[in-house]
Amino acid sequence: RWPSLLKYYSHTDGVSWLEEYKARHNAGLEAQRIVASFSKRFFSEHVPCDGFSDIETLGCPSHFFEDELMCILNMEGRKGLTWKYYAKKILYFLRQQNILKNLKEYLQRPTDQQSFLEGAVLIDQYCNPLSDICLKSVQAQVDDITDKVRKVLRAKNPRHPSLASKAGEVLVPEVELQRQVLDAMNCVLYEQLKYKGNELDYYNSLNSYIHQVLIRRTGIPISLSVLYLTIARQLGVKLEPVNFPSHFLLRWCQGKEGSTDIFDYTYIDAFGKGKQLTVKECEYLIGHHVTEEFYGVVTSKEVLQRMVGNLLNLGKRESTDQSYQLLRDSLDLYLAMYPDNVQHLMLQARLYFHLGIWPEKVLDILQHIQALDPSQHGAVGYLVQHTLEHIERRKEEVGPEVKHRSDEKHKEVCFSIGLVMKHKRYGYNCVIYGWDPACMMGHEWIRNMNVHSLPHGPHQPFYNVLVEDGSCRYAAQENLEYNSEPREIPHPDIGRYFSEFTGVHYLPNTELEIRYPEDLELTRATVQKIYSSGKE
């Protein structure tokens, strides 16, 4: 464990290693206590916004706490699935809180100290908090590309000023020398390294994450522009970002520095292999005329706003758990930059309301919206009323419903929780985490899913299943069959319901077993009957 913690120490510090070890040990115990408590507290609902209050008031060093969470996540084998599930949620929260703090510090710096690359990395980190992304690593990869450009430049012009060891500190003065840099950049990026705009999969969120752009060598106009601009500036060529509609561009001054004449600039399309464009060609690119204001330079904050806006639009495109998470993350980022933006505050309130999570926070957001813009009272009033109703319903909820297989109404239920199944019609693999003696969905769902076309219709057991593609489905008993070759189901919520995969079936965690107290014994008997004669 210790190599990953060395970055927190200085070689000159006098450290009592015994005290450090004790602190790490105690942080580990605290992390284990909190992780263990999460399953019992939050099994029936999304972890509430105040669910992480224990973590926000930690009495131990946060890096030791995080280190213990990583140890839980890296446990070998197929055990500890519930612990891993909640450790992941806590780590996600912890890292996002730190990244948000770093973003706010970044935005408070003077504009000339706000690196475009660092801003892109912060967005990347916030949307992928469990990935190992750091500015130092990304910068090293960019430096490597810059060195390759210098090599090409040296072959063309051995005396080029950009070849000096600290060329980025001094701007290359002559336009022709700047052109040589851009030509060398285009040669390395687009001919040698094969970077290109991702036209085939344009609306993939990976195109917006700078570490993925470097790995996959493809992206969208804004992410490729940040990379292109960073390399150019390191070589002494000052390119500037242009918030052009529909297609982000860079501009390169051909006239007097700081000119306000849009015709004094050449515009560069990093998405289009570094092609250099005139004003008229920029308009051809998007198919219509635009006013001069769209050719102006924008700040790093405005660049980040557009990057986050792209992610926000991607989150709106689909109704999946992944897109909802992207929408939540991008709204967090947007509101960190513009905390009083009524439109995005309302979107955040509607999103939480739609997902049925954090009703208390929804009320806080709505109160803030009403204070900012009283004209929103109609929409605010509607959401307040329904949110209060949701809170009241939650208060009235009794304990968990317990389903005994011995009950007469459950006699037709053939399968049990933890069994790995296969869908007869669609062929997907899944694991059962709940069941009903008959279809419990509403008439509209039954009609839309054409349930009445099944031989037994809705009057047969239906099963809640976690599917290998990450979705949750509700399947009729007649459509499921035992999986002859059971394997692990890679679903993000597997640990919410199960503690271990035995190799042929899943063991329910304590909370799920309380709800289905007689299923585990049946699952074991079923597995013994099906698989004992074959391979173990």
- Please answer whether residues 460 and 478 qualify as being in contact, where contact means their C-beta atoms are separated by less than 8 angstroms: yes
- Count each helix (H run) and each strand (E run) in the chain, helices first: 19, 13
Mean pLDDT is lowest, of 55-69, 363-377, 439-453, for: 55-69
Mean pLDDT for the stretch of residues 103-116: 95
**Res 49: pLDDT:** 59
Q: What is the mean pLDDT of the chain?
A: 91
Span 395-420, mean pLDDT? 89
- Using CA atoms, how far apart are residues 98 and 126, in angstroms rounded to an integer? 9
% of the chain surpassing 70 pLDDT:
96
Residues 223 and 207 sit within 8 Å (Cβ to Cβ): yes
Please give the backbone phi and psi of residue 259, each rounded to the nearest 5 degrees, phi first: -60, 145
489 is written with which tokens? 């189901």
Cβ neighbours for 449, distance < 8 A, ≥ 6 positions apart: 441
The Cα–Cα gap between 271 and 261 comes to: 24
> pLDDT tens across 482-525, in order?
998 899 999 999 999 999 999 999 999 999 999 999 999 999 99
Segment among 147-151, 318-322, 478-482, 501-505 with least mean pLDDT: 318-322
The C-alpha angle 62, 68, 71, rounded to 5 degrees, equals: 145
DSSP characters for 160-175?
-GGGSTTGGGS---SH
**Which one of 2.30.110.10, 2.60.40.790, 3.30.420.10, 2.30.30.390 gives the CATH number of domain 408-532?**
2.30.30.390
- Output DSSP code: residue 477: G
Asked whether residue 399 carries a pLDDT value surpassing 90, the answer given is no
Average pLDDT over residues 343-361: 90
- For residue 536, the model assigns a pLDDT of 43
Report the pLDDT value the prediction gives residue 431, as an integer from 0 to 100: 97
Residue 533 clears pLDDT 80, i.e. is over it: no
**Above pLDDT 90, what percent of the chain?**
74
Residues 21-52 have pLDDT tens digits of 999 999 999 999 999 988 887 776 666 555 67
Measured CA to CA, the distance from residue 201 to residue 204 in angstroms comes to: 6
Integer angstrom CA distances of residue 97 from 7, 56, 72, 117, 315: 20, 9, 20, 20, 21
Q: What is the pLDDT of residue 46?
A: 64
> H or E element: which one contains 513?
helix 510-515
Q: Going by C-beta distance under 8 Å and a sequence separation of 6 or more, which residues neighbour residue 443?
A: none
Q: Which long-range contacts (CB under 8 A, 24 or more apart) does 48-55 make?
A: 48/357, 48/358, 48/360, 49/358, 49/360, 49/361, 50/360, 52/90, 52/93, 55/90, 55/93, 55/94
Give tens-digit pLDDT for 241-269: 999 999 999 999 988 888 899 999 999 99
Contacts of 210 (CB under 8 A, 6+ apart): 117, 120, 121, 124, 138, 223, 226, 227
The Cα–Cα gap between 45 and 496 comes to: 11
State the pTM of this model. Answer: 0.88
> Which residues of the chain form CATH 2.30.30.390?
408-532
Judged against a pLDDT cut of 60, whether residue 535 lies above it is answered with no
Q: Report pLDDT digits (tens) over 458-476.
A: 999 999 999 999 889 999 9
Structural tokens at position 93? 């929260």
